Amino acid sequence: ILTGRRLRPRPPAPEGVVVDGDLSEWQDVSPLPLPFHNGVVGPVRLCWSSRGLYGALSATDASVKANPDSPWTADSLELFIDKACARKLQSDDGTAQYVFSPAPQGQGVLIPHGVNQNRTDAVKCAWLPVEGGYAMEFMIPADFLAPARMEAGSKMGLNFCLNDDGRPVRQFYSDKRNNGWHTPFGWGIVVLSK
């Protein structure tokens, strides 16, 4: 069931977008709504190109913390994708989880669930410290997202959780504390728009 509240159009990537942590090229990309948040401000944005799915976020954070082995226990963005938009009751091979973190070495990517677990080098992530927190960008290659196609009209199930020191502070669309991370049926839906 697709409803206006859950179906979120995502535009093509800005011209010349580079995954470097500088979010200046993202100004015209609208943020995703945040049905669950804990008073922390800052947008999470998504867009796409034939190369893959891009994301950017700015996080308010007085003390940036990283844990490369278990990044979801520190500061991180957990992204869950239902590639076929099958909306099943449990995650399976048609879903993937990516964790992006402000790692000390500059690029923190972990793929704890999905068929591409051993290919973290193909996923791009960069972050920069900014006044009052950090900014982060990422790109997931198009072949990681199959059977979804990187073209206008394609749909994917999507959920994310921004963690501050392991605590969920911004979420779309299911609440992690209620096992939403494990249930694609309750995730939001994004459609790639022109």
3-state secondary structure 75-117: CEEEEEEECCCCCCCCCCCCEEEEEEECCCCCCEEEEEECCCC
Query: For residue 36, what pLDDT band results from cuts at 50, 70 and 90?
Result: low
Instruction: Check residue 116 and give its pLDDT.
Output: 82
Q: Which two tokens stand for residue 112?
A: 């704890």
CA distance 77 to 57: 9
Cβ(10)–Cβ(191) under 8 Å? yes
What is the b/e burial string over 77-93, where b = at least 16 CB atoms within 10 angstroms of the residue's CB? bbbbbbbbbeeeeebee
Burial of 161 (C-beta count, 10 Å sphere; 0-12/13-18/19+): buried
Instruction: Check residue 110 and give its pLDDT.
Output: 78
Alpha-carbon Rg for the chain in angstroms: 15
Cβ(150)–Cβ(52) under 8 Å? yes
Instruction: Check residue 1 and give its pLDDT.
Output: 31
Mean pLDDT score, 146-153: 93
Cβ(94)–Cβ(88) under 8 Å? yes
**46, amino acid identity:** L
Number of helices (H) and strands (E) in the chain: give both, helices first: 0, 12
- Of 2-11, 34-43, 60-69, 112-121, the poorest mean pLDDT is in 2-11
Instruction: Check residue 5 and give its pLDDT.
Output: 41
- Closest C-alpha among 167, 128, 150 to residue 20: 128
Residue 111 has pLDDT above 60, yes or no: yes
Of the chain, the percentage scoring pLDDT greater than 90 comes to 37
Cα→Cα distances 27→4, 18, 46, 93, 109, Å: 24, 14, 12, 34, 24
- Of 49-53, 148-152, 186-190, the poorest mean pLDDT is in 186-190
Instruction: Check residue 4 and give its pLDDT.
Output: 37
